[in-house]
Amino acid sequence: MNLSSPKSRNVVYPSGLSPDELAALLSDEPLYRVKQAFSWFSKGIASFGAMTNIPQPLRERLSAHFDGHMRSSGVENKLIDEDGSLKLQIRLRDGAAVECVLLEDIEGRKTACLSSQAGCPMGCVFCKTGTLGFLRNLGPDEIVEQFHYLRDMRGFISNVVFMGMGEPLLNLDNVRKAIAILSNPHGIGMSMRKITISTSGIVPGILDIAKDGPIVRLAVSLTSANPELRTCLMPVNRTWPLDKLKAALLEYQKITNDRITLEVVLIGNVNAREKDAQELADWIHPLKTQVNLIAWNPIPGMPFETPSAKQVRQFSEILEQRGIVTVQRMSRGRGVMGACGQLGDTLKAKQ
């Protein structure tokens, strides 16, 4: 086996290797060895030495190929909120950093919120990550490693949401590959129905996954059904306005027959009024949706305010009266700037 050094190329580290890529890397090894190695890698094994059913010479070659590193990134900081939420700052191989979050609901279900890009190009004005600008896409290994770090610290994780830093549909190839690895039955084996991709409304990407998958759950950050207001809050509306977005969602639903989640971040005195709820209800018809209402999470330096519980409740009641399934989402992780829209704030302490 002739393995070139990762120092000489932009190598994908073990947790981001597909079975086919691993088979090519181990081309002179029997197929069962490839399956064994993939199982170890995709499950996030911590060291090459722990691959107990792999012969030592092969373990040593693999270790040498990756310069002894099983992972390409490392945990630089972690913060734990009083509600139990865990936020990690991950330092990538080139010095860039991303954040990921582990959220646990009142029933004990654990959800990994993963980032797909370092920074974000979308510029949503109510989102901390949107103020950072865009640095680069993450590779599949850098995405899957976030999951492994969270699981190392918190055990079994039932759900994955691509709702962290970045726009997943602008890094769709690598997100697809990460999902394929996480859902592979020889590795983690996560159900595709337990994985959600959240987008700000990238129309070509929505149509792409409708046609070619992955068939996971789709969430769309809508925030407002008023064209002018949505453009002010979410610049993506200039490129893919509400009419084009709705046409894409109707096509997606025609192909998949799946219900779509619409995420609405409610901002006090901006989009939480009765007329905003009525406009949203009008726009939704005839889509089959669930609307998640998320009270805006405070971000230092931003000129917005969190709506009152009464405002959120009244907004929800208007939608429900129109026959729309509505969920008022609890904001978890606020204490460590790990809630919706807060990622990217510098972590201040190790815990």
* Type of residue numbered 80: I
DSSP state letter for 25: H
pLDDT-based confidence at residue 337 (cuts at 50, 70, 90): confident
- Alpha carbons 255 and 62: distance in angstroms, whole number: 43
99 is catalytic: yes
- Mean pLDDT along residues 289-317: 95
Supply the pLDDT for residue 70: 95
Q: Which of 99, 104, 142, 263 is an active site residue? A: 99
Tell me which residue has tokens 């519980």. Answer: 309
- Alpha carbons 129 and 100: distance in angstroms, whole number: 12
Cis amide leading into 286 (omega within 30)? yes
- Alpha carbons 243 and 249: distance in angstroms, whole number: 10
In contact, 37 and 62? CB cutoff 8 Å? yes
Q: Is pLDDT of 322 > 80?
A: yes
- Alpha carbons 26 and 21: distance in angstroms, whole number: 9
Buried-exposed string 88-113: b where 16+ CB fall within 10 A, e elsewhere: bbbebbeebbbbbbbbbeeeeebbbb
Supply the pLDDT for residue 348: 38
Supply the pLDDT for residue 7: 45
Assigned token pair, 147:
């999951």
Supply the pLDDT for residue 346: 56
- Could you give all domains of the chain from N- to C-terminal order, each with its CATH number? 15-65 (1.10.150), 74-336 (3.20.20.70)
Q: Is pLDDT of 202 > 80?
A: yes
The pTM assigned to this predicted structure is 0.94
Supply the pLDDT for residue 18: 96
Terminal Cα distance for the chain, rounded: 43
* Alpha carbon 216 to its chain's center: 12
Average pLDDT, the chain: 93
Q: Is pLDDT of 329 > 90?
A: no
**3-class SS shares of the chain: helix, strand, coil, % to 5:** 40, 20, 45
pLDDT-based confidence at residue 332 (cuts at 50, 70, 90): confident
Q: Is pLDDT of 217 > 80?
A: yes
Supply the pLDDT for residue 77: 95
- Alpha carbons 301 and 183: distance in angstroms, whole number: 40
Q: Is pLDDT of 243 > 60?
A: yes
Q: Which of 100, 113, 127, 340 is an active site residue? A: 340
**What are the residues facing 141 on neighbouring strands?**
none
- For the chain, the residue count is 351
Q: What percent of the chain has pLDDT over 70?
A: 95
Phi, psi (5° rounding) for residue 295?
-65, 130
Supply the pLDDT for residue 341: 85
- Say what angle helices 140-154 and 172-183 make with each other, to 10 degrees: 40
Q: Is pLDDT of 8 > 70?
A: no
pLDDT, tens only, 13-48: 999 999 999 999 999 999 999 999 999 999 999 899
**What are the residues facing 258 on neighbouring strands?**
none
- Alpha carbons 75 and 154: distance in angstroms, whole number: 14
- Mean pLDDT along residues 243-261: 97
User: Is the Cα torsion angle 179, 99, 238, 322 positive or negative in sign?
Assistant: positive
